[in-house]
Amino acid sequence: MKEIVFQYQMLENASSLSTEDAHLLLMAREATSKAYAPYSQFQVGAVAMLNNGETIEGTNQENASYPVGICAERVLLSAVSSLYSGVAIKTIAISCHNLKGESKNPVSPCGLCRQSLLEQTLRQAQPIKLILSGMEGAIYVLEDAASLLPLSFTANDMK
């Protein structure tokens, strides 16, 4: 039998993060207010720190014609690819604001976003650190976004 191990760090709050990571998380939490989520009332903000020091943000964008909306993570990845082609992503902070309830649990990317994050990781040949949170409370830190998608499907599978 084989085993897949998933490791992440769980922090009680942002005070345990480095100054840079805490700032990135604050930016992600602030970005949630720019989300267009009139249907789910679940706003998500994602902010990337690039290797060149630039930061880019993305927010979820819903549409009355489900599933036409796009998640914050994929908005972010598209913006990075368009504006900073060839520049690797160092860290992504993702936060959510649930307007219908609490926002204390870390938000985790959906399956489609996990696949997109894996693809970006492979493209840039460098891990992407993830910081996942709500508007308050616990924070998950993963050193490699690719760890969210074990047994993944990649371009190598099509050779």
Domains of the chain in sequence order: 13-147 (3.40.140.10)
Report residue 67's pLDDT band, with 50, 70 and 90 as the boundaries. Answer: confident
In this structure, which long-range contacts are made by residues 108-112, counting pairs with CB atoms below 8 Å and at least 24 apart in sequence? 108/132, 108/140, 108/148, 109/71, 109/73, 109/145, 109/148, 110/71, 111/149, 112/71, 112/74
Report residue 136's pLDDT band, with 50, 70 and 90 as the boundaries. Answer: very high
Q: Which active-site residues does the annotation give?
A: 73
pLDDT tens-digit map of 77-132: 999 999 999 999 999 999 999 999 999 999 999 999 999 999 999 999 999 999 99
